[in-house]
Structure 1
Amino acid sequence: MEIFVELSVIIVIAMFVSLLMRALKQPLIVGYIFTGILVGPYFLNLIQNGDVIELFSKIGITILLFIVGLNLSPNVIREVGKVSLLTGIGQVLFTSIIGFFIATALGIDRIAAIYVAIALTFSSTIIILKLLSDKGDLNKLYGKIAIGFLLVQDIVATLILLFTSSFAGGEGSVLFIALMTVIKGSLLILTMVAISHYILPQISTFIAASQELLFLFSLSWGLGIAALFSLLGFSVEIGALVAGVALSMTPYAIEVASRMRPLRDFFILLFFILLGSHMVFENIFALIIPAILLSLFVLIGNPIIVVILMNVLGYSKRTGYQAGLTVAQISEFSLILATLGFEFGHISREILSLITFVGLITIAGSTYLILYSDEIYPYVEKFLSFLEIYKNGNKRNKNKGYNSILFGYQRVGQDFIEAFNRLDLAYIVVDFNPESIKKLEEEEIPFKYGDAKDPEFLTELDFKNLRYMVSTIPEFETNLVLVRRIRAKNKRAIMIVISHDREEALALYAEGASYVIMPHYLGAQYAVRLIGRAGLDRREYDMHREKHLAHLEKRIA
């Protein structure tokens, strides 16, 4: 069959399978792998030009990892915060150790068991980002923490890929290969750091003037560095990652990533189709029990590990539960690692099929767990209580008695704290932004670390004796919950919330809000009064301008 016709037929089949996956609310990766099974040798046997499709899939992996690298700026560890760093590393360690013992207990040889254990460790940042975005949970506490420790996983996966790629046909002792890997890897990374600091900034501004040239440069940079790493004895995958990290320090990283995604989506489609076509079915029944056991460990064991780690770090069981569900599947990194292991001769086709089976089961299962996490929670809440080492996660909360609460320290929270101090109120601040918490600790301001959107966290707050509540949170649903909860327990509390919509403001008033701040409305009123008072006197405007600038600089400092 002509390659053009072959590819066209495969893509059409992938489209119909993906439509079915979409109807079932499944990630398209599942559809791509099922397409590979359908067009593979056991069913339609449509793949006749395997070498060409394998080349395209290799390009897809390269572009995928290049984009992952673009999101792994060296500043990422500082940005994700301590909880994401500790949870990410802790989950990787515990999952890989337990996974190794499960794999060896199933009769898998030691080298293959290491690959299986590592594959069980990593979760898909791409899938989780999409699911959390669809649920509107990216800005919730658990969403921020989850994305943080998934990025930590990506960094660990990068290091593992670097180490694994050094064994591609390498001869000699493990110690010698590891030493050579460290030496060559260090030299290459230092070279990339120097280029990214001293050369890329000089040429990126010129290149970015043309969007077409920026796209071409980015593609040539990613593929070129990947090819260079391959020539020096590493895999193209680790080369693509390093190329992305080097380019991540330029101001055009986001633009580059957005332009590369359509190209990635096409080529990576062929990688997952090829992966599905490589699955073996001769001993399918021998793989079913190991696949189910390993999948149960990922679907149940991984979330339990995260729940315990986050409880030790002081988070509520609901936050730990929701964050834990985001690691209840294996990732594209796991499948790429398994494919590399198969190419290097470290694992058999049966082990590759086993890991792919686990990927299908866990990606499909975790999707429903995340989408319906709120409905599932009441059924598992009692079990989660048994996992709590510290009850109520109160280690992070630094506060004494209080009669006033400020939700949200950022935005204009500092102004309200000054007002609370003038009224001599005993107050606490509720926030979960790591930068806000750090500043609150430095200024010795009493706080509770938590998410105002978390119903379980709200039960820990004393609303009965509340005198003042101010929320600088802009989300209508969150403010509505706060007003209803407080008013149900306290009829006299003064509640001030923010809204940007007239209908929502009226709804908040109807539920019992004392005053709804509408920034644009208040700003317009102030501007009208200023115009009426100052008229055409520029000196009056200059005076207000200087006062406003001084206020802004004080808040930024």
Structure 2
Amino acid sequence: MTLLFELGLVLGVTFVICLLMRALKQPLIVGYILSGIIVGPSALNILNSGHEYELLANLGIVFLLFIVGLSLNPQVIREVGKVSLITGIGQIVFTSIVGYLIAISLGLASIPAMYVAIALTFSSTIIVLKLISDREDLDKLYAKIAIGFLLVQDIVASVILLSVGVFANGGSEVSQEIGVVVVKGFSIILILLYVSGSILPRIIAYMATSQELLFVFSAVWALSLASLFAAIGFSVEIGALVAGVSLASSPFSEEMAARLRPLRDLFILVFFLLLGSKMELSQIGPQLIPAMILSVFVLIGNPLIVILLMNMLGYSKKIGFMAGLTVAQISEFSLILAALGLRIGHLDSQVLSLITLVGLITIAGSTYLILYADSIFVRVSKILDFLMLVHSKTRLSRRDIRKAEMLLIGYDRVGSIFVKALNKLEKPLFVVDYNPDSIERLSELGIESKYGDIADFEFCKSLPIDSLKMIVSTVPDFKTNLEFLRVIRSSGSHAIFIVIAQTVRQASEFYRYGASYVILPHHLGALHAAKIIESNKLEKKLYQELLRRHQATLAKMTAWR
């Protein structure tokens, strides 16, 4: 059987399974993993070209992490860096300790128990980012924090794998080897900081003159840095993410991401197929009960640890819950670590099968948890109240906003324009934003503001809604705005509610639930452009004058922000 025929057959089976998943309204990732089991050695055994599929899967990993990196500009890193570091390290410590105790209680010896505990600690960056992307939540606060602590996990996992690998190869100076790798990594990052600020902008500007050139450059840059980081001892994932971050400040970052998304979706599918194909169903029976116990700890215990840590850092129950669900599965690093432990004689095949089974259960389970997180949160919200040890910093007190008659949600994007207009009404204005830099700028401008997130139900409940006469939301997420509008109207408020929508269908939904006015940016922009064409006709001088005025307006908007 040729590779091309085999790939076509494998994808054909995957297509049929995905159709079934779609009909049953199940997540497609579960379908991908199930397809891998079916085409693997446990069933049809038609997936035989393992090395070729590994290459395709690695390409999917590189492009996925590169695209995520493109959305992580330095401002985002500054915003969530501290909480991501603390939460990431805290979760690793607590999970490994509790996981070790559980493994010992299940009858495992000390060394296998350590491997199992470490395996339970790390979450799959690839799977989590795919699910967050499917939810279209990459711009949300919880997603930014989750990406941060997943990166911390990846770095720690790379160090552990490097240490075990050095030990397996007979190395005695483990700390020296790790030190060399860390120094190399920081050296490359320092060089990239210089290159991304002074050299890359000119290169990208030239590449952007051709969409094909920009596409090829993006792919080459992602693969080159991923390979470089892998060569010095870090993971491919870290290299790909750094490659994306180095280009995140470019005005062409979205174009680069759009060009690579089709490749990402195809190759990441192969990753999940390969993951499923490695399941050995023959060894599931004896390991089922221990695997279920460990899986329950990962699916419930890991999120609870993150929720507690984020609550102690002052984050709301909803943000902690959403971020916590992203650690409810074990990582591909866990499977690699287990395979390495088997190779050097620390583990037997039963422990490897145990960790693999926990991986399948938790990956499938966390897929449902993340995709249906909003409805799950509503059901468990009151239970989570018992875990809230610290008042959330996203919760408003009535003293914060008691005099406000106008509320603006979101200062970034177009909120700065609304601030200027609302100030002219000479009524008390209050602004809420979850970007600390925005709050700092508003404070400098003398505008009352506070850190907050309307996706947090506690925040919505803390609003003194009856005193508000106007509410303007610039938040781009449809579901968040609709839920906020429902809360406002269900409270009996008749405040003017202005909101932004991206489609006509969304606008109709907002009006159905009581919005006063819905802004359709593309529609308004097209109407404005049409009036300009009618007014200026084919007079180039008029368009040149319009250009000068527009550039002046853009400069003022930058100054406001």
Query: Into which bin does the TM-score normalised by the smaller protein fall?
Result: 0.7 to 0.9
Structure 1 unpaired stretches of 5+: none
Alpha-carbon offset, residue 357 of structure 1: 1.1
- The whole-number CA distance in structure 1 between the counterparts of 2:267 and 2:143 is 28
Alpha-carbon offset, residue 264 of structure 1: 6.3
Residues 20-77 of structure 1, C-alpha deviation per residue, up to 9 Å, x if partnerless?
A: 4444555555445444544555544556x5xx52454256336624752564478463
- The whole-number CA distance in structure 1 between the counterparts of 2:223 and 2:491 is 62
Structure 1-normalised TM-score?
0.77
Q: Determine the structure 2 residue equivalent to 1:165.
A: 162
Contact 1:403–1:465 (CA under 8 A) maintained in structure 2: yes
Q: Determine the structure 2 residue equivalent to 1:401.
A: 402
- The whole-number CA distance in structure 2 between the counterparts of 1:190 and 1:25 is 48
Counterpart amino acid of residue 437 in structure 2: E
- The whole-number CA distance in structure 2 between the counterparts of 1:536 and 1:267 is 48
Q: Determine the structure 2 residue equivalent to 1:102.
A: 102
Q: Determine the structure 2 residue equivalent to 1:57.
A: 54
Q: Determine the structure 2 residue equivalent to 1:556.
A: 558
Residues 83-113 of structure 1, C-alpha deviation per residue, up to 9 Å, x if partnerless?
A: 4444344333332332233223323344433
3-state SS in 2 of match to 1:361: helix
Structure 1 pair 220/507, CA: closer, same or farther in 2 (3 Å)? Answer: closer
Structure 1 pair 300/432, CA: closer, same or farther in 2 (3 Å)? Answer: same
- The whole-number CA distance in structure 1 between the counterparts of 2:254 and 2:509 is 38
3-state SS in 1 of match to 2:432: strand
3-state SS in 2 of match to 1:98: helix
Superposed counterparts of 1:16-165, under 5 Å: 16-45=16-45, 52-54=49-51, 56-57=53-54, 60-61=57-58, 64-65=61-62, 67-68=64-65, 71-72=68-69, 75=74, 77-78=77-78, 80-139=80-139, 143-165=140-162
Alpha-carbon offset, residue 463 of structure 1: 1.0
Structure 1 pair 66/108, CA: closer, same or farther in 2 (3 Å)? Answer: farther
3-state SS in 2 of match to 1:314: coil
- The whole-number CA distance in structure 1 between the counterparts of 2:539 and 2:222 is 58
RMSD: 4.8
3-state SS in 1 of match to 2:154: helix
Q: Determine the structure 1 residue equivalent to 2:369.
A: 369
Q: Determine the structure 1 residue equivalent to 2:468.
A: 466
Alpha-carbon offset, residue 389 of structure 1: 0.9
Q: Determine the structure 1 residue equivalent to 2:309.
A: 309
Contact 2:404–2:467 (CA under 8 A) maintained in structure 1: yes
Residues 154-179 of structure 1, C-alpha deviation per residue, up to 9 Å, x if partnerless?
A: 34313422441354254798871221
Larger Rg: 1
Superposed counterparts of 1:58-457, under 5 Å: 60-61=57-58, 64-65=61-62, 67-68=64-65, 71-72=68-69, 75=74, 77-78=77-78, 80-139=80-139, 143-168=140-165, 170=167, 176-187=173-184, 190=187, 194=191, 197=194, 201=200, 238=235, 241-242=238-239, 245-246=242-243, 249-250=246-247, 273=273, 275-280=275-280, 283-343=283-343, 345-391=345-391, 399-404=400-405, 405-418=407-420, 425-443=427-445, 445-457=447-459
3-state SS in 2 of match to 1:402: coil
- The whole-number CA distance in structure 1 between the counterparts of 2:101 and 2:325 is 22
Structure 1 pair 193/109, CA: closer, same or farther in 2 (3 Å)? Answer: farther
- The whole-number CA distance in structure 1 between the counterparts of 2:173 and 2:501 is 63
3-state SS in 2 of match to 1:380: helix
Superposed counterparts of 1:497-536, under 5 Å: 497-498=499-500, 521=524
- The whole-number CA distance in structure 1 between the counterparts of 2:394 and 2:294 is 34
- The whole-number CA distance in structure 2 between the counterparts of 1:210 and 1:540 is 30
Structure 1 pair 531/223, CA: closer, same or farther in 2 (3 Å)? Answer: closer
- Percentage of pairs with the same residue: 45
- The whole-number CA distance in structure 1 between the counterparts of 2:217 and 2:543 is 48
Structure 2-normalised TM-score?
0.76
Larger CA deviation: 79-88 vs 464-473: 79-88
Contact 2:408–2:471 (CA under 8 A) maintained in structure 1: yes
Structure 1 pair 307/44, CA: closer, same or farther in 2 (3 Å)? Answer: same
Alpha-carbon offset, residue 292 of structure 1: 0.6
Residues 185-213 of structure 1, C-alpha deviation per residue, up to 9 Å, x if partnerless?
A: 52365257547855984877777777777
- The whole-number CA distance in structure 2 between the counterparts of 1:369 and 1:311 is 20
Contact 1:409–1:431 (CA under 8 A) maintained in structure 2: yes
- The whole-number CA distance in structure 1 between the counterparts of 2:416 and 2:227 is 52
Contact 1:63–1:240 (CA under 8 A) maintained in structure 2: no
Contact 2:123–2:327 (CA under 8 A) maintained in structure 1: yes
3-state SS in 1 of match to 2:453: coil
Structure 1 pair 136/103, CA: closer, same or farther in 2 (3 Å)? Answer: same
Larger CA deviation: 257-266 vs 55-64: 257-266
